Amino acid sequence: MKRRDLLTGSAGLVLTMPLAGCDDYGAANMPQPPAAVVGADGQRRLPWQNWSGYQSSLPERRLAPASEDELARLLADSRGTIRPVGSGHSFTPLVPTDDTLISLRHFSGLLQHDPQALTATVGGGSRLGSLGEPLHAAGQALINMPDIDAQTLAGSMATATHGTGAQLGALHTAAIALRLVTPTGEALDCSPSLRPELFAAAQVSLGALGVITQVTLQNVPTTRMKRRVWVEPFDELVERFDSLAAAHHSFEMYCIPHCDHAVGITIDPTDEPLQPRGPEQDNDAVMDLKRLRDLLAWFPAARRWLINMALQDYQPEVAVDVWHRIFPSSRAVRFNEMEYHLPRETLLPTLREVRQRLEQRHPGVFFPMEIRVVRGDDAWLSPFQGHDTSGSIAVHRYYEEDPLPLFRDVEPLYQPMGGRPHWGKMHSLTPQTLADRYPRFNDFVALQSRLDPQGRLLNPYLRTLLGHG
């Protein structure tokens, strides 16, 4: 059985109901950003909103400088708050400002590469998906990729975006040098040997130190990857989690709420013949889970039985392709998300608690939880800093539904073990708690103040997050 057929076969009962909104995955109901307005200067102000529609603003200016000189001039000359924006895929309000938004879309693509060292210098505004073909043609591959490839490289690094794999670091760990244009318009190159402290801070910068125009990446040889997806009873997959994470290049688990099964996904290098990924099924499967929730949230036993029945004879999916066509999936069903990174040994006990709380108190939640592992590193604001390997748990709420009751209820479960939130995903930690959890947090705040003495890169959210507000 394919995931698309989640509700067919054994669950024929539900098939008689209309599949409302499945063609656009509900996107027609996106929250509306503020309306465009014409300012006193006659200029039209266009609204900005993030991917889920949860964050929005009405910037006075939306600029896309064409060169580093132009960027430096506008940073040095502009008044008010300036925020760099990538592709708007963060759930936290890191980006919104009603003053100036700067897009790096003209700083995109592969600039140069070294075939021997397998390094590549790319524009900070490059979308991850745009780097796949040119890097592959140059014989290179990114060390790892997140779930999707719509994010920009600089935007991903700014929040410590990651994929999964016990030996695979987050994207910022592939950076071996970068160039930052500070709020005063100064271009600073840095690397582990040139301005090493700036480099360690700028690897995960929250977009608060300056605008990253280019990044040099240490890549790996390009390769084909084999992706395998299967369904297994939750308890059995949790039992095997550690051995699967140790045995595979990349392993993750999706825990489907209100049923007894989970999905495992492994990705490994291979030289097997091409077997491209078929049409994306995840979006339809999630909408099917929504439909079951809509119909049966009041009758949990029937909902559990139906999902269990539908998943019992699920046939594993296998795909073989070049790395950049294997890692990313399509996420058409919009949601808001909270993800916490935890000491690895606490991952699975915490997962059981989160699952139990979600199922007992939040019958409306239908999105699967995502469980991943990430190798540690030393960047000052990396949530993986100081750990050999971290484990992460992500919970999601459909974008039309208030995410806060779920997130507020689950977040306390991560606190006893010093959980660190994904910077781009919703959380409520204060600067005091962050300073306790990140040994270099106060150094980051001090460096930010030195590079940006007037705080022009800080919107209200960042001011509060960094303890200035």
Ligand X SMILES: Cc1cc2nc3c(=O)[nH]c(=O)nc-3n(C[C@H](O)[C@H](O)[C@H](O)COP(=O)(O)OP(=O)(O)OC[C@H]3O[C@@H](n4cnc5c(N)ncnc54)[C@H](O)[C@@H]3O)c2cc1C
Angle, helices 282-296 vs 300-312, to 10°: value is 150
Give CA separation, 376 vs 27, 413, 463, in Å: 36, 22, 27
For ligand X, give the closer residue by CB, 303 or 459: 459
Which of 85, 379, 426, 458 binds ligand X (CB under 6 A)? It is 85
Task: Tell me whether residue 67 or residue 356 sits nearer to ligand X (CB atom).
Answer: 67
Residue closer to ligand X (CB basis): 52 or 118: 52
Structure tokens at 109: 């693509």
Stretch that binds ligand X, among 20-28, 151-159, 272-280, 307-315 (CB under 6 A): 151-159
Q: Residues 177-216 vs ligand X: string with x where CB under 6 A?
A: ----------------------------xxx---xx----
Binding range to ligand X, per CB under 6 A, among 142-150, 270-278, 309-317, 403-411: 142-150
Given 140, 144, 156, 390, the residue binding ligand X (CB under 6 A): 156
Calculate the alpha carbon distances from 404 to 336, 337, 399 in Å.
Answer: 10, 10, 11
Going by C-alpha positions, the residue among 52, 152, 44 that lies closest to residue 102 is: 152
Instruction: Select the residue interacting with ligand X from 135, 141, 143, 147 (CB under 6 A).
Output: 147
| C-beta of 148 vs 220, nearer to ligand X | 148
Which of 382, 447, 446, 385 shows the shortest CA–CA distance to 198? 447
Distance CA 179, CA 153 (A): 13
**Residue 118 binds to ligand X (criterion: CB under 6 A):** no
Neighbours of 236 (CB within 10 A): 13
Tokens 């097997």 sit at which residue?
272
Complex with ligand X: residue 126 or 303, whichever CB lies closer: 126
> Rule CB under 6 A: is residue 151 a binding residue for ligand X?
yes
- Identify which of 9, 107, 50 has the alpha carbon closest to the alpha carbon of residue 461: 50
| Residue given tokens 């991903």 in the structure block | 156
Strands (E), 136-236: 140-141, 175-181, 187-190, 211-218, 220-221, 224-233
Q: Residue 407 and residue 290: Cα distance in Å, rounded?
A: 19
Q: Select the residue interacting with ligand X from 26, 59, 88, 421 (CB under 6 A).
A: 88
Q: Which helix (H) or strand (E) holds 421?
A: strand 420-421
Using the rule CB under 6 A, give the single segment among 18-26, 41-49, 81-89, 229-237 that binds ligand X.
81-89
Please report whether residue 130 would count as binding ligand X according to CB under 6 A: no
Q: DSSP for 29-74?
A: GPPPPPPPEE-TTSPEEPPEE-TTSS-EE--SEEE--SSHHHHHHH
Decide: is 397 part of the binding site for ligand X (CB under 6 A). Answer: no
Residue 269 pairs in a beta bridge with: 225
Does residue 93 interact with ligand X by CB under 6 A? Answer: no
Please tell me the distance from the alpha carbon of residue 457 to that of residue 469, in angstroms, as a whole number: 14
Q: Which of 154, 262, 333, 347 binds ligand X (CB under 6 A)?
A: 154
Contact map string, positions 406 to 425, toward ligand X, x by CB under 6 A: ----------------x-x-
Label the pairing between strands 261-270 and 250-255: antiparallel
Place of tokens 């003495």: 453
Residue 265 binds ligand X, judged by CB under 6 A: no
Look at residues 68, 63, 152, 53 and name the one whose alpha carbon lies nearest to residue 99.
Answer: 63
To ligand X, the closest distance from the beta carbon of 171 in angstroms equals 8
For ligand X, what does the binding mask look like between residues 422 and 441, x meaning CB under 6 A?
x-x-----------------
Sole binder of ligand X in the list 58, 72, 143, 158 (CB under 6 A): 158
> Site for ligand X (CB under 6 A): which residue of 59, 93, 124, 169?
124
Asked whether position 113 contacts ligand X by CB under 6 A, the answer is no
Among 26, 59, 84, 403, binds ligand X (CB under 6 A): 84
- Min CB(347)–ligand X separation in Å: 16
User: Could you say whether residue 376 binds ligand X (CB under 6 A)?
Assistant: no
When the beta carbons of 155 and 376 are compared against ligand X, the nearer one is 155
Please tell me the count of residues contacting ligand X according to CB under 6 A.
Answer: 34
If you ran DSSP here, which 8-state letter would residue 418 be given? Answer: T
In the complex, the residues that contact ligand X under the rule CB under 6 A are 51, 83-90, 94-95, 104, 124-125, 146-148, 151-152, 154-156, 158-159, 161-162, 205-207, 211-212, 331, 422, 424
